[in-house]
Amino acid sequence: MKYTSSSTLLVLLATLSLVSVIAPAPRANACSLHSSTPPMHLQSTPPPESAAEPEPEAPANAELAAPPTGTEAEAEAPPESGAEPLAGPASEAEAPRWSLARSLQLGLSARTRNLRFGDEERGHAELSEYTLLLGARVQLPGPVGVGLSLPLARRGLSLPNGARERTSGLGDVGLQADLALQTLWELPFRAELQLGLLLPTAPMSTRGDGEYLHPDVQPGAGVFAPRAGLLLGARAARRVDLLLQTDVIWAPESPDGVQRSATLRVDPALYLQTLPDLRLALALPLRHEWEARSSGQLEALTGGTLLSVEPRLSWSMTRQLTLLGGVSIPVVQALRGGARERVSAFAAIQFLPSF
């Protein structure tokens, strides 16, 4: 089975810059919807070959047969995206009868993030973030899967004037539905349409005087934020899979008067099955953010583009339990406002109850 993050992994950052002793405090590119969406590495991954039936050896003089298409088990990505073999689904006669026990997927993931932003005139600020994501997904009969994600986050922001702000608690809960196009059209490769929605479940935090906290520590956006994505996958060789995922997320103006940056993400990844239960991956995630708006006006020092290198590792301990982790290393940073992402890390556990 396959997971998709369609649900959500982080909370949205919001608006309102505080006033420092000299000039308005800098606003980070973290004030974007990308912080509230699940990371790409948690949204999908090819099924491990270890779960497939052993392939008989071909005679030395025989032509190479087509590689196996994989199975329903998946080695990576927290709950939320159906799990179809890369080369399409089995026939109806071969498909097992649907049951919740075989269709439920659970996941728990953790991520760290650190961002420095600002300039000499406004001063520098630093944002730290720790997020825990609980997720569940059910593959419905047919090509449709639905998921729910529950993010818990803790954020801290150090401002140029020495002030510190912190928030912790529930973020914006995410809903997602995914449609396996290869099932509908019998495609020879994996293709999936993903639609999601962030719900305004996190409160907009305020200080004692009633003013909103700095946008980069807000636990949510206070509005409904839709997301749409497409995933493509193909088997390149016997133990090599290629995946390409892209999505875009947008939100209207929040109650604090700020409209967060719309975000486009493109995530190409190569997966290599090194051992029966061990999978390595190398991804080059690209993120582009448009400028945020405050009271209808563009925030010139927000938005930009970031390209990272992301090695990933997953270990299928059993058919029901998979561990995964990795790091994200920024290599090209073209973020406005002096923003600089630092190396971040993630870890996750995926569990198939099979009760």
By the 8 A CB rule, do 33 and 261 touch? yes
* Contacts (Cβ under 8 Å, ≥6 apart) of 312: 41, 76, 269, 280, 281, 282, 283, 324, 325, 326
pLDDT at 39: 57
pLDDT-wise least confident of 25-34, 132-141, 182-191, 306-315? 25-34
Residues above pLDDT 90, as percent of the chain: 41
pLDDT at 26 exceeding the cut of 60: no
- pLDDT-derived band at 54 (thresholds 50, 70, 90) equals very low
pLDDT at 6 exceeding the cut of 70: no
- pLDDT-derived band at 328 (thresholds 50, 70, 90) equals very high
What are the structure tokens assigned to 66, written together? 């087509």
Q: What is the pLDDT of residues 279-293, one digit of tens each?
A: 999 999 999 999 888
* Contacts (Cβ under 8 Å, ≥6 apart) of 59: none
- pLDDT-derived band at 46 (thresholds 50, 70, 90) equals low
pLDDT at 41: 52
211 or 326, which is more confident: 326
pLDDT at 186: 85
pLDDT at 102: 67
By the 8 A CB rule, do 295 and 281 touch? no
pLDDT at 334 exceeding the cut of 50: yes
pLDDT at 298: 84
Q: How high is the mean pLDDT of the chain? A: 76
What are the structure tokens assigned to 117, written together? 């932003």
pLDDT at 72 exceeding the cut of 60: no
Span 34-41, mean pLDDT?
Answer: 56
pLDDT at 142: 84
pLDDT-wise least confident of 10-19, 209-218, 316-325? 10-19
Span 172-197, mean pLDDT?
Answer: 92
Span 100-117, mean pLDDT?
Answer: 85
> Which pairs with CB-CB distance under 8 Å and at least 24 residues apart come from 185-190?
186/88, 187/88, 188/87, 188/88, 189/86, 189/87, 189/88, 189/232, 189/233, 189/234, 190/46, 190/84, 190/85, 190/86, 190/87, 190/88, 190/231, 190/232, 190/233, 190/234
Q: What is the pLDDT of residues 118-135, one digit of tens each?
A: 766 777 888 899 999 999
pLDDT at 354: 64
- pLDDT-derived band at 2 (thresholds 50, 70, 90) equals very low
Q: Note the helical H segments in the chain.
A: 100-103, 181-185
pTM of the model: 0.72
3-state secondary structure at position 36: helix
In angstroms, rounded to a whole number, what is the distance separating the alpha carbons of residues 322 and 342? 27
Span 185-210, mean pLDDT?
Answer: 90
What domains can you pick out in the chain, each with its CATH number?
A: 33-54+66-351 (2.40.128.130)
pLDDT-wise least confident of 2-6, 172-176, 285-289, 300-304? 2-6
